[in-house]
């Protein structure tokens, strides 16, 4: 009798193990994401579907969706017990914590034997992409000096019609229509015409990727998007300077806003100081510059000093609360600190 029980138990273990192995054959997985584009911090609904051949038996499955590094999920795993169904699905909610592209790559399926002695894993490749734009809001109160000066409300064609204020050497990024071809042919090299509106009406937003904590850096990116969004909503075109491996200048208007958001989403945190944007030395003369930085640094003070020397109004936002010493240094270099608040923000000397 004891030998009979022994062999019976052994046979059950062998059959259970064989069925556990068999249950991992022919599995397929699909993932459906409710939206492929959203803002950082938003939630997305994810549906995972597991398919198996109808005649393949199993005891129970554990299914887990492998999340990207900066995505957090709630109940992204699920158990499925034996049934005759061919497909099994479940839905969970995930939060995208950081802007940029996020790739869902694999779904892990664990098969078990009847007694829970074996846990077999199979990785099913399933690609899904989610892109998160920087989180932004419309500011109720940008600096009053900007509102009173009514900067940059003329179209590009109207700017071209204004009188010439002077000439300077050509710099990358200058419009071909602004080149003085007659003077350039005189052997001095390419010369660019400067119009009065270029000197007085230009609006520039500069995002300084100063070395800082991730929280401060992400706060600065959101504030850059908020300032740009507020200006674009008001019908005010602007130039945006961002650093992504190198400095890039973008013209921002309503029709280019989505491309601008994508560019902001792709900016990576730099290590060390990237140096001053080259456009500062040649193309920014007058107008107003919104300088957004995670923290105040020597590079920020130098940039403010350079811009102020060009009769440019400089408004600085720092993600890290400035100290009294830093506030004094800002006033010394001719810049104004901008500190947004829940009521829309304001100007603070």
Encode the chain (349 residues) as per-residue pLDDT tens digits. 576 665 565 566 666 566 666 667 778 899 999 999 999 989 999 999 999 887 777 778 889 999 998 999 988 989 888 877 889 999 999 999 999 999 999 999 988 776 667 778 889 999 999 999 999 888 876 654 455 444 433 334 444 444 555 566 666 656 666 666 666 666 566 667 665 444 456 789 999 888 788 889 999 999 999 999 988 888 888 899 998 888 888 889 889 999 999 999 999 887 766 677 777 767 787 788 999 999 998 888 988 888 888 888 889 999 998 889 998 998 898 888 887 653 444 444 4
Model confidence over 286-322: pLDDT tens digits?
A: 788 999 999 998 888 988 888 888 888 889 999 998 8
Question: In the prediction, which pLDDT does 178 show?
Answer: 64
Question: In the prediction, which pLDDT does 198 show?
Answer: 45
Question: In the prediction, which pLDDT does 156 show?
Answer: 40
Question: In the prediction, which pLDDT does 116 show?
Answer: 67
Residue 250 burial (C-beta neighbours within 10 Å; 0-12, 13-18, 19+): middle
Report the distance separating Cα 82 and Cα 105, nearest Å.
Answer: 27
Q: What is the pTM of this model?
A: 0.72
Report the distance separating Cα 190 and Cα 181, nearest Å.
Answer: 7
Which of 168-189 are b and which e, b meaning 16 or more Cβ less than 10 Å from the residue's Cβ?
eebeeebeeebebeeebeeeee
Q: Sign (positive/negative) of CA torsion 243, 244, 249, 252? A: negative
| Residue 245 Cα distances to 157, 242, 270, angstroms | 33, 10, 8
Question: In the prediction, which pLDDT does 307 show?
Answer: 87
Tell me, what DSSP letter sits at residue 164?
A: E
Question: In the prediction, which pLDDT does 18 show?
Answer: 65
Report the distance separating Cα 67 and Cα 73, nearest Å.
Answer: 7
Model confidence over 212-237: pLDDT tens digits?
A: 888 899 999 999 999 999 888 888 88
């Amino acid at each position: 009798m004891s030998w009979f029980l022994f062999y019976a138990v052994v046979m059950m273990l062998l059959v259970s193990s064989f069925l556990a192995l068999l249950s991992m054959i022919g599995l397929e997985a699909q993932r459906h994401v409710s939206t492929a584009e959203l803002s950082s911090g938003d939630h997305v609904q994810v549906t995972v579907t597991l398919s198996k051949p109808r005649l393949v038996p199993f005891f129970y499955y554990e299914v887990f969706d492998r999340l990207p590094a900066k995505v957090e999920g709630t109940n992204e795993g699920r158990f499925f017990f034996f049934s005759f169904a061919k497909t099994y699905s479940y839905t969970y909610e995930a939060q995208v914590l950081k802007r940029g592209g996020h790739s869902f790559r694999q779904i892990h399926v664990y098969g078990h034997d009847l007694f829970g002695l074996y846990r077999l894993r199979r990785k099913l490749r399933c690609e899904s992409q989610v892109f998160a734009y920087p989180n932004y809001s419309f500011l109720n109160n940008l600096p009053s000096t900007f509102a009173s000066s009514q900067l940059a409300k003329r179209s590009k064609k109207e700017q071209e019609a204004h009188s010439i204020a002077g000439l300077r050497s050509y710099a990358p990024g200058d419009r071909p229509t602004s080149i003085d071809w007659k003077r350039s042919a005189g052997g001095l090299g390419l010369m660019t015409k400067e119009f009065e509106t270029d000197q007085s009406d230009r609006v520039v937003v500069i995002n300084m990727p100063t070395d800082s904590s991730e929280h401060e850096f992400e706060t600065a990116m959101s504030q850059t998007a908020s300032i740009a969004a507020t200006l674009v909503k008001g019908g005010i075109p602007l130039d945006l300077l961002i650093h992504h491996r190198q400095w890039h200048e973008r013209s921002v208007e309503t029709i280019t806003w989505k491309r601008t958001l994508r560019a902001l989403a792709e900016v990576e945190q730099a290590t060390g100081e990237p140096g001053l944007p080259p456009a500062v030395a040649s193309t920014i003369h007058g107008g107003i510059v919104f300088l957004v930085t995670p923290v105040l640094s020597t590079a920020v003070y130098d940039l403010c000093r350079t811009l102020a020397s060009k009769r440019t109004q400089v408004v600085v936002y720092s993600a890290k609360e400035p100290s009294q010493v830093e506030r004094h240094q800002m006033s010394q270099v001719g810049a104004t600190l901008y500190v947004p608040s829940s009521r829309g923000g304001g100007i603070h000397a």
